[in-house]
Amino acid sequence: MTTYLIRRILQASLTLLVISFILFGLISATPGGFMTVYAEKSDMSPEDLARIRAKLGLDDPVPVRYAKWLSNLLQGDWGKSLTSKRPVLEEIGSRLPNTLLLMSLMLICTLLVAIPLGIFSAIKQYSWFDHFFTTLAFAGQSLPVFWFGLLLIIIFAVLLKGPDGRPLLPGAGMYTLGEPFSLWDRIRHLILPVTMLTFVSSAEYMRYLRSAMLDVIHEDYIRTARAKGLREWKVIFKHALRNAIIPLVTLVGLDLPSLFGGALFTETIFAWPGIGRLYFTAALKNDYPLVMATLMIYSTLIVLSTLLVDVIYATLDPRIRLS
């Protein structure tokens, strides 16, 4: 196990190194590059631009710049945002709690919806219940996310009104500007983005669990459990679900990095001040240090989550260590 773990850690480290080099190369090759933010300012003279280029080290070859950037990165210096002039880690840290709140609620709601629907769709295979929710699952995976979000805003924030004449649900932001803190106000702002993300994510999770349950409930040990006289709910939840949920756990583990990365379309559509919207705004303003830091953190989390899933699998099935 130790040899397998060391080999996977080395592979993950090499993967991250290659990803960082590719990302740095792509951003360096972007037209305008780092100087786009400064070149758009009318009060910048050619001498000022040349001085900034020298200060940022942009006259050095790409490999030299990459080596300096990687060295600073490993020392905890992620650079400063070109637009706000604040350290990149401060910018990300100020938005991270908002993203964690939104994505954590989404994940909880998704599991609460997808697991029961996946179980009962498998138990009631080919029934009206199965056909109805399977159709919804296909719709959830097929609908464009931005279109569904705009549809929710049009219905609940524009067309439908509350008793006071205001929109039934707010369609943007995480709280009402100019009003004191209110827990109910925060919950109302969460309803639409969480609903949108839950509908899309639970569709995928439900289909995975339904397929896994259909494979499991016809196994011999399930028939044996029924033959022993166990109650049906105990057969399903204690024997079938414990084995069928393993693929879902893998899927959830691989989706955990999204708790940091947020949902770009959702946060942009609903003006949610999270990491996804921060990345989108930084990309529009050519704030490359912020874009690079966000991509690197997200890539690191993806690699680490994959490594964690591999280690768990190797612990459960020793044969994987030899592959």
- What is the pTM assigned to this prediction? 0.80
Contact 271, 263 (CB under 8 A): no
Q: What is the pLDDT of residue 112?
A: 93
Q: What is the pLDDT of residue 190?
A: 93
Q: Which residues of the chain have pLDDT under 70?
A: 1, 31-44, 49, 56, 259, 261-262, 313-323
Q: What is the pLDDT of residue 37?
A: 62
User: Which residues is 161 bridged to in the sheet?
Assistant: 167
| Domains, in order of start, for the chain | 1-77+291-323 (no CATH), 96-286 (1.10.3720.10)
Complete DSSP assignment for 7-68: HHHHHHHHHHHHHHHHHHHHHHTSTTGGGHHHHT-TT--HHHHHHHHHHHTTTS-HHHHHHH
Per-residue model confidence as pLDDT tens digits over 216-232: 888 888 888 888 887 87
Q: What is the pLDDT of residue 155?
A: 92
Per-residue model confidence as pLDDT tens digits over 154-171: 999 999 888 888 888 998
Q: What is the pLDDT of residue 258?
A: 72
